[in-house]
């Protein structure tokens, strides 16, 4: 899969130094993935969930949420948000028009 906006993801990750390794590991996994649906994603990330049009990954023991859009047909992942658990719970990310 191809990740769109890795630069933005890395920029957002820089705010949370404890998260860098996990995000880079996630990116490495994504680059090698050929997911066809959410069930394929869950084979690797069992806690991943589809919320609206997004896929949400729990990162670093549920401390952070990585929110992406996945186009399985074209094998593209669109980075949208990297949030702390508290920020995620506020649900403001659900105001995104893609949601």
* Digit-coded pLDDT (tens) for 52-86: 999 999 999 889 999 999 999 999 999 999 999 99
Query: Which residues, 6 or more positions from 72, have their beta carbon under 8 angstroms from its beta carbon?
Result: 35, 36, 37
Q: Alpha-carbon distance 72 to 2, whole Å?
A: 10
Task: Give the residues across from 2 on adjacent strands.
Answer: 76
State what percent of residues in the chain have pLDDT above 90.
Answer: 91
pLDDT at 33 over 90: yes
Helices 6-13 and 20-32: angle between axes, nearest 10 degrees: 160
Q: What is the pLDDT of residue 38?
A: 97
Q: What is the pLDDT of residue 35?
A: 97
Rounded to the nearest 5°, which phi and psi values hold at 50? -85, 125
Q: How confident is the model at residue 89 (pLDDT cuts 50, 70, 90)?
A: very high
pLDDT at 99 over 90: no
Q: Alpha-carbon distance 7 to 90, whole Å?
A: 25
State what percent of residues in the chain have pLDDT above 70.
Answer: 100
């Amino acid at each position: 899969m191809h990740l769109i906006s890795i630069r933005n993801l890395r920029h957002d990750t820089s705010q949370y130094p404890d998260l860098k390794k996990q995000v880079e590991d996630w990116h490495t996994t994504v680059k090698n993935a050929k997911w066809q649906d959410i069930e394929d994603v869950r084979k690797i990330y069992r806690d991943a969930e589809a919320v609206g049009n997004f896929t949400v990954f729990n990162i670093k023991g549920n401390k952070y949420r990585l929110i992406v859009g996945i186009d399985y047909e074209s094998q593209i992942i669109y980075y949208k948000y990297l949030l702390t658990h508290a920020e995620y719970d506020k649900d403001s990310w659900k105001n995104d028009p893609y949601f």
